Amino acid sequence: MRLAIAFALTVAQALAGPAQAGVNEALDDHILPGFERFAGASADLDAAARADCTAPALAVPFHAAFDAWLAVGDLRLGPSETGALAIAFWPDTRGFTEKTLTGLIQQENPIANDPEAFADLSIAGRGLFAIEMLMFDPDFADYGPESYGCALVRALTADLARQAAALERGWAESFAAVLRSAGAADNARFLSEEEAVRAIYTQILAGLQFTIGSRIGRPMGSFERPRPARAEARRSGRSLTNVLGATEASVMLAEALADWPLPETRAALARVRDTAAAIEDPAFADVDDPAARFRLEVLQQAVAAMASSIETEIGARLGLSAGFNAQDGD
Amino acid sequence: MTTRRNFLASLVAVTASPRLGWAAVGSPAYIAAAQLPDGVHVLVGLDLAGAETFRVPLPARGHAGAAHPAQAEAVVFARRPGYFALVIDAGTGRVLHELMPPKGHQFNGHGVYIDGGATLVTVEQMAEGSAGRIGLWDVASGYTRIDGFATHGIGPHDVRLMPDGRTLVVANGGIETDPTDRTKLNLDTMCPNLAYLGAGGDLLEKVELDQELAQNSIRHLAVASDGRVGFAMQWEGEPGMGWPLLGLHRRGERPVLAEAPLADELAMKGYAGSVAFSADESEIAITSPRGGRLNRFAPDGRFVAAEAREDVCGIAPHPDGFIASDGLGGLIALGCEGARPLARHECAWDNHIVPL
């Protein structure tokens, strides 16, 4: 009898496929709670700004909101495909954030007191990096409690809380069902269960690539020309924190997606932590010192090694590889 | 509209070689190249429901294809740098003709049948320097090379016939490539253009974008029945700029850039792989396999909507609006009310889906 039950379970699992189980766990163990926590942390930041909008008063809730964001911030799927950019507009290659904020402040644009109009503002002028610039950039951070800058910070935190709640709803009430119903007759987004697994797996690797190429690669620049001013969240001194937070999040998501252990990935994450501990400047401002640049390069290699481990431990096992057309480039 | 010349030409083409028409291979609405799970490449005919009407093997991965308007044969171009193009019998898969570009030339992407199928037009570049050339081939005599002329640009990739039945529009991508591989040599100085050429190769009009968009390579084309041209671009400059990737042009006017909201633009990853007008020409769409999505616009350039689909690249008109194909084997139809799945095949659809 026990054998029969065990056999029945195995058959049921085989029919459901390891794929389906992984998608549910990725959603329920990591993605949905992550958006819930970020929505909570954003609401806390907004509440703090309403009580006291000045930069020193907001440092703790700002960092808490950014930390919460990193757990889910590299996802570019469903509501996050475009929604993530309005929360974390970086890299800002064309300097849109500074331009937008400077324009608003110079005009004392009344949009700061109009929440509905504010939602139509360019995504470059909203979200965590706009708040960071106002709070931490010396050109902006000295705003007083009665100033336009203060009103703008409150408008930004209110907008962030609204966006975070919308993202949480978008995932929980809509897109999670699209992932869970992969392969259903009316699902044009995912034509099979395997496609949903693949989509999440692709997000994990793309997030790590972003950390390797942008979070670490942009400030590294070239050996002849390091670019410390291109470090992510350098104004708030979070560049290294973001590398670590995003990397940890990708392992959590990978472990939720895979219903088997990932020992090589775990070991690679420990190595990422070790190499990060050797970094002296958390904003990578010392990258023009060859020794510091070398340490950053070692960190970059450690993250790349971790991505390879995930490819081995998940991608190879599921037979997933990069897109046929995305790779062709013609 | 069938001109007398076209009619006579097609008559000659059909009578000269007793070849089967498309009805003999299930009257496909589209042809598309694909890779099977075992790595074999095939050319597939598809009906409007996304079902297969024929499948024949290809000797290698191709880039684009062009379907003969009457006979059940298609020309498939090698991936760049293209040393050959193959004319495939859609009924048997037999290679009817192997086209070799003239010495010093390379096929560089696409081609199109004109004169009712009497002539094949190929896009070529000089191996050294990448200067663009058009090749003309006579179909009835077994695809003999009959003429060639300049495209008035570097690194051309796509070519289409304008509704007047004579004028060619060419996407001169602007990129000089290494003669032996696809290494890009001139990204700092590239200068793409859209060129309209007369039947004899005379330059009728050349369109260039503003200098800040010089690194936006004009690569793929769609032409509407009223002569509007949509051109899809691939950004070769610094990533993350979010420049528009679709332009619209009408002869004699300034081009209009179709801009999506910034987040939707950035999600395309600076890369549009294909472009098509919808069946009723009320919309135009570009695909991005890198972004896993497609952006839809009105013909005046206004953004309409986006649709997410992994590794999507091929796009063509469909009674719903559009049909899109992807590297996961999916075929979806897109209409005003969004997307619906048509079919999923065990293959990876290659870059383009070609309507018949």
- B308: chain A residues, CB-CB within 8 Å: 77-78, 81, 189
User: Tokens in use for B69?
Assistant: 């308007």
Q: Do B293 and A81 touch (CB under 8 A)?
A: yes
Contact A195 B310 (CB under 8 A): yes
Q: To the nearest whole angstrom, how far is the Cα of A122 from the nearest Cα of chain B? A: 8
Residue range(s) in chain A whose domain bears CATH number 1.20.1420.20: 19-180
Tell me if chain B has a CB within 8 Å of the CB of A291: no
What residues are paired with B171 via a beta bridge? B158, B194
**Which residues does residue B55 pair with via DSSP β-bridges, in sequence order?**
B44
Tokens of A53: 């909008």
3-state secondary structure B314-329: EEEEECCEEEEEECCC
Domain finish residue from B149, B171, B206? B206
Amino acid at A251: V
- Name the token pair of A81: 């495909």
Q: Closest-CA residue in chain A for B237? A: A93
The CATH number fitting domain A193-322, selected from 1.10.260, 3.30.300, 1.10.10, 1.20.120? 1.20.120
Is B175 in the same domain as B29?
yes
The whole-number pLDDT of residue B18 equals 62
Closest CA relative to residue B245, chosen from B237, B257, B254: B257
Contacts of B65 in chain A (CB under 8 A): none
The reply to whether A93 touches chain B by the CB within 8 Å rule is yes
Is the Cβ of A195 closer than 8 Å to some Cβ of chain B? yes
Q: Where in chain A is the domain with CATH 1.20.120?
A: 193-322
Residues 6+ apart with CB under 8 A from A198: A318, A320, B310, B328
Question: Distance from B18 to chain A by nearest Cα, in Å?
Answer: 36
Min distance B350 CA to chain A CA atoms (Å): 7
Question: Which of the four pLDDT bands, split at 50, 70 and 90, describes residue A1?
Answer: very low
Question: Which chain A residue is nearest to residue B330, measuring alpha carbons?
Answer: A191
Sign of CA dihedral A212, A218, A219, A220: positive
Asked whether A132 and A233 are in contact (CB, 8 A), the reply is: yes
Place of tokens 């509007």: B228
Could you give the CA distance from residue B304 to residue B283 in angstroms, rounded to a whole number?
Answer: 8
B174 plus B219 within the same structural domain:
no
Distance, CA of B79 to CA of B109 (rounded, Å): 7
| Closest chain A residue to the Cα of B239, Cα to Cα | A93
| Tokens of residue B338, six digits | 């969004």
Tell me if B292 and A330 make a contact (CB, 8 A cut-off): no
CA B258/CA A299 separation, integer angstroms: 41
Confirm or reject contact between A192 and chain B (CB < 8 A).
Answer: yes
B79 shares its domain with B143: yes
Over range A236-244, report the average pLDDT: 98
Q: Does A198 touch chain B (CB under 8 A)?
A: yes
Residue B327 is nearest to which of A96, A188, A323, comparing CB atoms?
A323
CB contact under 8 A, B309 and A192: no
Q: Report the b/e string of B190-217 with b at 16+ CB within 10 A.
A: bebbbbbbebebeeeeebbbeeebbbbb
Question: Is residue B34 domain-shared with residue B92, that is, in the same domain?
Answer: yes
Distance (Å, rounded) from C-alpha A92 to C-alpha A246? Answer: 19
Hey, of B243, B311, B347, which one would you mutate to test binding to chain A, going by the most A CBs within 10 A of its CB?
Answer: B311
- Which residue from B89, B58, B28 is spatially nearest to B355, judged by alpha carbons? B28
d(CA A27, CA A41): 19
Contacts of B339 in chain A (CB under 8 A): 188-189
Structure tokens at A199: 């989509």
List of chain B residues whose C-beta atoms are within 8 Å of the C-beta of residue A91: 240
Q: For residues B292 and A177, what is the distance between their CA atoms, to the nearest angstrom?
A: 19
Per-residue burial over A176-189, b = 16 or more CB atoms within 10 Å of its CB, e = otherwise = bebbbebbeeebbb
Residue ending a domain, choose from B206, B231, B257: B206
Tell me the C-alpha distance between B264 and B302, whole Å.
13
Quick check: B267 and A198 CB within 8 A?
no
Binned average pLDDT, 10 residues per bin, chain B of 356 residues: 48 55 95 94 96 92 90 92 92 93 94 97 97 98 97 98 98 96 95 96 98 97 98 95 96 98 96 98 97 97 96 97 97 94 96 95
Compute the average pLDDT of residues A213-229: 96
* A15: pLDDT strictly greater than 50: no
What are the chain B neighbours of A199 within 8 Å (beta carbons)?
A: 310
Q: For residue A32, is pLDDT > 60?
A: yes
Classify A19-180 by CATH class: mainly alpha
Lowest mean pLDDT across A179-188, A254-263, B1-10, B144-153: B1-10
The CATH number for B233's domain is: 2.130.10.10
Helix A193-210 × helix A239-257 angle, to 10°? 160
Question: Across the interface, which of A78, A189, A326 has its CB nearest the CB of B290?
Answer: A326
Chosen for mutation from B236, B322, B328 (greatest number of chain A CBs closer than 10 Å) is: B328
β-bridge partners, B156: B172
The CA distance from A145 to the nearest CA of chain B, in Å, is 32
- Kindly report the nearest CA distance between residue A57 and chain B, in angstroms: 31
CB contact under 8 A, A199 and B310: yes
Domain span at residue B273 reads 209-356
> Which residue from A187, A195, A324 is facing B35, i.e. has the nearest CB?
A324
Asked whether residue B194 falls in the same domain as residue B234, the answer is no
Distance between CA atoms of B44 and B62, rounded to whole angstroms? 13
* Distance of alpha carbon B338 from alpha carbon A188, whole angstroms: 9
Tally of domains within chain B: 2
Picking from A204-218, A314-328, B70-84, which range would have the lowest pLDDT averaged per residue?
A: A314-328
Degrees to nearest 5, angle at CA B89 with B85 and B92: 130
Q: Which residues of A touch B332 (CB under 8 A)?
A: 188, 191
Q: What one-letter code names the amino acid at A209?
A: Q
pLDDT at position A63: 98
First to last CA, chain B: 16
- Cβ contact, residue pair B330, A123, below 8 Å: no
CA distance linking residue B344 with residue B335, whole number of Å: 18
Domain identity same for B189 and B217: no
Contact B263 A123 (CB under 8 A): yes
Check whether residue B202 and residue B254 sit in a common domain: no
Report the alpha-carbon distance of residue B243 to residue B236 in Å, rounded. Answer: 11
B-chain residues near A175 (CB < 8 A): none
Contacts of B293 in chain A (CB under 8 A): 81
CB contact under 8 Å between A198 and B328, yes or no, is: yes
| Same domain flag for B133 and B214 | no
pLDDT at residue B3, as a whole number: 52
CB < 8 Å to B239, chain A = 93
**CB proximity A325 to B under 8 Å:** yes
Whether A76 and chain B come into contact, CB under 8 Å, resolves to yes
Interface touch A325/B344, C-beta < 8 Å:
no
Distance of CA B97 to the CA centre of its chain: 21
Q: Which of B160, B182, B206 is the last residue of a domain?
A: B206
Burial class (CB in 10 A: 0-12, 13-18, 19+), A291: exposed
Q: Which residues 110-149 of A have a C-beta within 8 angstroms of B?
A: 122-124
| DSSP collapsed to 3 states, chain B | CCCHHHHHHHHHHHHHCCCCEHHHHCCCCEEEEEECCCCCEEEEEECCCCCEEEEEEECCCEEEEEECCCECEEEEEECCCECCEEEEECCCCCEEEEECCCCCEEEEEEEEEEHHHCEEEEEEEECCCCEEEEEEEECCCCCEEEEEEEEEEECEEEEEECCCCCCEEEEECCCCECCCCCCECCCCCCCCEEEEECCCCCEEEEECCCHHHCCEEEEEEEECCCCCEEEEEEECCCCCCCCCCEEEECCCCCCEEECCCHHHHHCCCCECCEEEECCCCCCEEEEECCCCEEEEECCCCCEEEEEECCCEEEEEEECCEEEEEECCCEEEEEECCEEEEEEECCCEEEEEEEEC
Residues of chain A contacting B327 with CB distance shorter than 8 Å: 323-326
Q: Indicate if the alpha-carbon torsion angle A106, A109, A115, A119 is positive or negative.
A: negative
Mean pLDDT of all residues in A128-148? 96
Q: Tell me whether A184 touches chain B (CB under 8 Å).
A: no
The ipTM assigned to this model is 0.88
The structure tokens listed for B246 are 């679709």
* A191 to B351: CB separation less than 8 angstroms, yes or no: no
Strand partners, B322: B317, B334
